[in-house]
């Protein structure tokens, strides 16, 4: 296996002796102790080598090396490189240090190894063209409340949607293919900053009087920027020395854990520009569905339980108590969705409701909320992008992948077998029955919060399982927070075991598992 680096692009060369090509990103990740492994670096880096048509390439086969025209297998795009001429290659190995030469032929450059055995190389591009880089050159700027560091390069992947704001002007350098970039003449940032200033005044009053800080709920339909606005308020609060609590009740597109959960997180530092808030020690409850309407009774029960725990946390931490809470909600605002919003407001004893973009919802909340609850209407930012159902599903899949494999910092989950006899699997909610079929004194909604045993089988394949902190069903399993999640990657009925993907080594911390409807196809 040869690895060649030109500019910032890593390629892996597959030789005729059948060595598998890899997808290593750096020389350090290669096995230099293996005699058959050569790591080659072009010296000096050819400045004239450039990609005319960048694109998102993942292990795309290329027909020839260093030729004038290079075609990508399975991709309609073509990559063109200018001719390099003769280059010097340095072999990095424990046993040998020798220079190899690359002779430029009409179409193919031949790489010669130390045995002078000529090989024709096929190059495979791992492709870093999907990364977009941004660097602040001059001035001051921020992304959703997080200040940018001058001279630091920030990396974003394909599909990232960001908005850079500056109060005093700045100079940015963008690298990579950008779908849309523009400078907005008008933004609602002044209004957003006024909300932060009002919340900060309430925090100061709470700190002086040793009382509870403001609890703010952000509401609105889908795709109006609720999550971004919450992130903005939290970042501004942290930059003022506060320690607010983020409560995320969006079970489909949440920021704290995998889809199908609600949770809370103590925010102690501004969100990372590329990765978001630090996910250390979040409080997470298992819901098991991607929509809040799938089990209304369970959702309301978990919201009530989460509000109690958050209140206890605030009472135990004076700084968090004065800093208050920012609550992100789902985009379901009609019918039962509106009733859920009123339930959230009642459970958390909301002080302020910020409604984004929808005046009808604003007027309904003004009408139905008590007089001591302040309701504020704000326009959405012009940079908000509407997401299709496919984009939302892709986002949920990405959140699960990030949970197991990390985003910028790679994580390495473990795969091992779990015997059926060592586990107890349950799901929350039984099939709905009419009230006439229910036992005396029970209602149909009571059935939706019932714990039902699940027999292990092929039906578990690719599903997420929540690992509960509850040791037995005698405890209140439904309202007990979870330790983490595993994914079932294989079910072997003959051996009576299943293979799971887990963030930590075996054995599982608890053997009581809760089945989620969220599925994840592990492609690693």
Q: Per DSSP, what are the bridge partners of residue 147?
A: 142
The angle subtended at Cα 301 by Cα 299 and Cα 307, nearest 5°, is: 100
User: Distance between terminal CA atoms of the chain?
Assistant: 21
Q: Closest Cα to residue 101, out of 83, 114, 92, 88?
A: 88
> Is residue 238 a known part of a binding site?
no
Which residues does 95 contact at the CB level (< 8 Å), separation at least 6? 35
228 is in an annotated binding site: yes
Q: Which of 303, 292, 304, 322 is nearest to 215 (CA)?
A: 322
227 is in an annotated binding site: yes
The response to whether 226 counts as a known ligand-binding position is yes
For residue 471, give the 3-state DSSP assignment.
Answer: coil
Residue 29 is assigned to a ligand binding site = no
Q: How far apart are CA 68 and CA 184, in angstroms?
A: 41
SS3 12: strand
Give dist(CA 426, CA 418) in Å, integer.
Answer: 16
Residue 35 φ/ψ, nearest 5 degrees? -60, -25
Could you identify the residue written with the tokens 């709470």? 206
Q: What is the 3-state secondary structure (H, E, C) of 395-447?
A: HHHHHHHHHHHCCCCCCCCEEEEEEHHHCEEEEECCCCCCHHHCCCCCCHHHH
The annotation status of 36 as a binding-site residue, yes or no, is no
Distances (CA, A) of 134 to 51, 247, 409, 440: 19, 30, 19, 64
Q: Is the dihedral of CA 165, 402, 22, 37 positive or negative?
A: positive
427 labeled binding residue: no
- Other CB atoms closer than 10 Å to residue 177's CB: what's the count? 13
Q: CA-to-CA distance for 375 and 237, rounded, in angstroms?
A: 20
Q: What is the 3-state secondary structure (H, E, C) of 135-185?
A: EEEEECCEECCEECCECCEEEECCCCCCCEECCCCEEEEEECCCCCCCCCC
The b/e string for 382-404 (b: 16+ C-beta within 10 A; e otherwise) is ebbeeeeeeebeeebbebbbbbb
- Residues annotated in the binding site for ATP, as ranges? 161, 223-228
- Residues annotated in the binding site, as ranges? 161, 223-228
């Amino acid at each position: 296996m040869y690895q060649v680096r030109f500019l910032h692009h890593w390629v892996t060369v597959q030789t005729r002796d059948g060595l598998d090509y890899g997808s290593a990103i750096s020389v350090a990740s290669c096995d230099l102790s293996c005699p058959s492994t050569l790591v080659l670096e072009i010296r000096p880096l050819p400045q004239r080598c450039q990609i005319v048509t960048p694109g998102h390439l993942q292990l795309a086969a290329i027909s020839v090396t260093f030729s004038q025209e290079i075609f990508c297998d399975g991709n309609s795009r073509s990559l063109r490189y200018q001719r390099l001429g003769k280059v010097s290659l340095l072999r990095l190995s424990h046993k040998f240090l020798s220079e190899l030469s690359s002779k430029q032929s009409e179409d193919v450059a031949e790489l010669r190894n130390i045995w002078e055995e000529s090989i024709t190389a096929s190059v495979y591009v791992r492709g870093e063209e999907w990364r977009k880089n941004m660097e602040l050159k001059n001035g001051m700027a921020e992304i959703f409340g997080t200040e940018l560091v001058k001279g630091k390069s920030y990396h974003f992947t394909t599909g990232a949607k960001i908005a850079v704001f500056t109060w005093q002007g700045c100079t940015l350098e963008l690298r990579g293919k950008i779908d849309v970039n523009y400078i907005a003449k008008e933004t609602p940032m002044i209004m957003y900053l006024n909300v932060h200033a009002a919340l900060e005044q309430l925090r100061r009053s709470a700190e002086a009087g040793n009382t509870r800080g403001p609890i703010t709920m952000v509401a609105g339909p889908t795709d109006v920027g609720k999550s971004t606005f919450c992130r903005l308020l939290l970042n501004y609060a942290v930059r003022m020395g506060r320690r607010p609590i983020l409560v995320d009740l969006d079970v489909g597109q949440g920021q704290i854990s995998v889809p199908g959960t609600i949770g809370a997180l103590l925010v102690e530092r501004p969100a990372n520009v590329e990765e978001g808030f630090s996910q250390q020690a979040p409080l997470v409850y298992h819901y098991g569905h991607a929509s809040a309407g799938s089990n209304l009774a369970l959702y309301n029960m978990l919201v009530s339980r989460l509000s109690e725990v958050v209140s206890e946390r605030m009472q135990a931490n004076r700084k968090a108590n004065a800093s208050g809470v920012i609550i992100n909600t789902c985009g379901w605002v009609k019918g039962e969705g509106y009733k859920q919003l009123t339930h959230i407001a009642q459970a958390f004893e909301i002080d302020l409701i910020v409604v984004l973009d929808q005046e009808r919802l604003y007027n309904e909340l003004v009408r139905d909320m008590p007089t001591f609850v302040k309701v504020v209407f704000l326009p959405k930012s012009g940079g908000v992008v509407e997401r299709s159902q496919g984009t939302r599903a892709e986002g949920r899949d990405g959140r699960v992948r990030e949970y197991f494999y990390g985003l910028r910092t790679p994580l390495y989950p473990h795969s091992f077998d779990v015997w059926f006899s060592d586990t107890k699997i349950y799901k929350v909610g039984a099939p709905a029955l009419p009230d006439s079929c229910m036992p005396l004194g029970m209602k149909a909604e009571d059935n939706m919060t019932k714990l039902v045993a699940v027999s292990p089988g092929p039906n578990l394949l690719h599903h997420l399982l929540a690992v509960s902190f509850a040791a037995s069903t005698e405890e209140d399993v439904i309202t007990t927070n979870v330790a983490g999640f595993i994914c079932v990657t294989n079910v072997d009925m003959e051996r009576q075991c299943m293979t799971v993907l887990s963030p930590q080594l075996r054995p599982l911390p608890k053997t009581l598992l809760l089945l989620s409807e969220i599925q994840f196809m592990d492609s690693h």
